[in-house]
Structure 1
Amino acid sequence: MNFTETAWRVFNQSIADYHIMDDVDTMLQNPFPTESLEHLLYAKNWIDTVQWHLEDIIRDENIDPTEALKLKRAIDSSNQKRTDLVEFIDSWFLTKYKNISPNSDAKINSETPAWAVDRLSILALKVYHMNLEAQRESASDEHRKNCTAKLNTLLEQKKDLSEAINQLLFDIENGSIKMKVYKQMKMYNDESLNPILYQNVKNA
């Protein structure tokens, strides 16, 4: 089983486990050993799955404004956790490939392995939910037909993205692409960088 096959299996296990309770407040119970890559992949997708449903809830036109603000804060926090975990997965890859010397003409990919994996995790959620819509009995035949067509496109995208990720890892392992990671350095959650936040601290 290659890397993306493993990742896809782990992502779908996370999605299935979440939907047992289907509750954004369900606590993560990661079934994989703490030091394993599967543990990181499961945790990554769990964050994505919870955020998917938070994004659904906040779009309720009748939502109470106070509750909407609370959800917005939760989504912001989730985004930060997502970014942190992606960077942690990239650190895992950096450690894995630390003894590989890139070729003199090695190129740099525009996307790190973990950010490509981030896209695969979101794609697993799209496939899961589009499949539900393609089979939803309460929907019209036209709706199910349209969703089936979209599902087929998503599955083709999954095939292409999986191939691209596996190729990227192969190229890193063989020195034709050098892995270089830049931290995201998000500013909006940092009290020393977001003007609204540091002005509030100064005026407190």
Structure 2
Amino acid sequence: MFSQLAFPVFEQCIKDYHVHDNIDQPVSNPYPKEQIEHLLYLKNWIDTVQWHFEDLIRDPEIDPVEALKLKRRIDAYNQQRTDMVEFIDSYFLQKYADVTPKPSAKINSESPAWAIDRFSILALKIYHMREEATRVDATPEHRAACQTKLDILLEQKIDLSSAIDDLLNDIASGDKYMKVYKQMKMYNDEALNPVLYQGKK
């Protein structure tokens, strides 16, 4: 099952990041480039750094100049996240290229890689909620509330794992087919964002 391959990769990546817990540390991907695990690790690394960007920018004491710099980095990482999702979908398109969809085949509401994107972020939620549920300097009430949330996240992990595996099995059997749309984000494109192209006049 693909979910059983992917989630441990995400957990390893999150653990590796928190050895130094530094948004500027370079990624050290332990998987060969020809393996899907390499893409999954890199995807989760982007998500993990982004997670900590989002923490930092919410600091009420952050310097406005530094906040703007951080916002630019967040935008860049958002684009990397989208690019990586599309790259992972390309892997699945190639993997199932020889499958002929059945006449009754249907399209899914999201591609496999966008479901995996949610799976990667769920791994981060579980990691950080578990930290809060076991934080020794927190109140018992805080830990209990976080444990309740962690239990829900772990249930969601089971459900999302099943949904991802079912989707891939359906694609492999021809019961569903893949159709990938590029995200076509407009706000980073100088030709499409009015603030950018009007500023060039």
| TM bucket, shorter chain | over 0.9
Once the two structures are superposed, the pairs formed by residues 120-159 of structure 1 within 5 Å of their partners are 120-159=119-158
Q: Secondary structure at the match of 2:72?
A: helix
Q: Secondary structure at the match of 2:200?
A: helix
Deviations 1:144-197 (A, max 9, x none): 000001000000000000000000000000001011100000000111111111
| Structure 1 residue 35 displacement after superposition | 1.5
Letter in 1 for 2:93: L
Deviations 1:105-139 (A, max 9, x none): 10000010000000000000000000000000110
Q: 1:193 & 1:36 partners in 2: Cα distance? A: 36
Equivalent position of 1:17 in the other structure: 16
Q: 1:83 & 1:197 partners in 2: Cα distance? A: 21
Please say if 1:46 is aligned against 2:38.
no
Once the two structures are superposed, the pairs formed by residues 32-181 of structure 1 within 5 Å of their partners are 32-181=31-180
Q: Once superposed, which parts of structure 1, at least 4 consecutive aligned residues long, lie more than 2 Å away? A: none
> Which TM-score applies when normalising by structure 1?
0.98
> Which TM-score applies when normalising by structure 2?
0.99
Q: 1:33 & 1:200 partners in 2: Cα distance? A: 44
Q: 2:64 & 2:190 partners in 1: Cα distance? A: 25
Letter in 1 for 2:92: F
Greater displacement, 31-40 / 113-122: 31-40
Aligned length: 201
Equivalent position of 2:25 in the other structure: 26
Greater displacement, 191-200 / 41-50: 191-200
- Alignment gaps of 5+ in structure 1: none
Q: Secondary structure at the match of 1:154?
A: helix
Q: 1:105 & 1:193 partners in 2: Cα distance? A: 38
Q: 1:185 & 1:193 partners in 2: Cα distance? A: 10
**Structure 1 vs Structure 2 CA RMSD:** 0.5
Q: 2:194 & 2:91 partners in 1: Cα distance? A: 33
Letter in 2 for 1:44: K
- Alignment gaps of 5+ in structure 2: none
Q: 1:172 & 1:163 partners in 2: Cα distance? A: 14
Letter in 2 for 1:40: L
